[in-house]
Structure 1
């Protein structure tokens, strides 16, 4: 029996894998649990390597901040021009409740997207005191693919995320004000509604970006009338 004294803490599987003396003792006890029987050195080394890689990945995500969570469309060669045309706002989510409140003036309903060599131009209708008021927001392209900047009511960074140009597109916007970050995620559709699968995917995406389920709004189920606000240039809500 080999007796090992570890002044820095209990003997772990990683210690066993890295220390040949420990590996020779197939009955080494790890963290006071049941004695290990026939612990293969290669298996333990592989486990330690996997653990270290996971810790490294988590560290890189933390260092990269929220931007590290954005992977863009599945196809890195996706042509941004394919998102141009008419769209409907069908879902909205945010970590800031005021952006999704039922009667807020901060809701924007998409009408169409135009694509230029330097930018994406979002044509919205904004509900203001029962009126659908047209407005336009320009998102300037950056050196990073599928990432844009907007100087509209403060500086924002917008990411083009999941997309099926014939059916739906998801955009995620980050803005910082007074040291607090706000995240707004929007789901646009070519039709006034989307399939349950697309809505499920949108909700899953929001959860992975730290947005609670209670802050995800299905606009097709709230009476917000995205179709009317997206098609009427201006007029009262009936």
Structure 2
């Protein structure tokens, strides 16, 4: 298991290291976001009631830390929660949520961001992806890019859920 974790950590691109939210003209990760799509090799985790079906509403990058605010639905109610990522010396990015998640920021600009994660819980590894947009929906070309990135991680098109028509706890934003 240690070798698997080391391999995953070394294999991931450290997307946060290259972020400079103070550079003029560069894309900013900070601010309001919407979850546009989720993907996973274990689709039950991103379906209604699944532990990884979460909805982002804000991301903050400060002093090398990334903190994200989310909603999740439990018993028909939208519950807010926050997570803060830790960047380890080897460059891997970790966040605790429903286990340990080793993640990378695969692609982003001012309009969208794509995160890929390895969720490790009870000895099981689940691969999942999140497509965030500054608006509740995104152009098809960005969704296609998300599909292509997911495919590189072994997630098929049939394992992606577009959440445009989903109740993403918008009333609480």
TM-score interval, normalised by the smaller of the two chains: 0.7 to 0.9
Distance in 2 of aligned mates of 1:142 and 1:65 = 14
The alignment's TM-score, normalised by the length of structure 1, stands at 0.61
Residues 1-238 of structure 1 aligned to structure 2 (within 5 Å) = 65-67=7-9, 70-71=12-13, 77-79=18-20, 82-104=28-50, 106-145=52-91, 147-164=92-109, 166-220=110-164, 223-226=165-168, 229-230=169-170, 232=172
Distance in 2 of aligned mates of 1:84 and 1:211 = 27
Superposed CA RMSD: 2.5
The gaps in structure 1 that reach 5 residues or longer are: 1-61, 234-238
Larger fraction in helix? 1
The gaps in structure 2 that reach 5 residues or longer are: 23-27
Q: Is the 8 A contact 1:138 1:150 kept in 2?
A: yes
Larger fraction in strand? 2
Aligned residue pairs total 164
Point out which structure has higher relative CO (alpha carbons under 8 A, 6+ apart): 2
Distance in 1 of aligned mates of 2:31 and 2:60 = 7
The alignment's TM-score, normalised by the length of structure 2, stands at 0.82
Cα separation, partners in 2 of 1:205 and 1:106, compared to 1, 3 Å:
closer
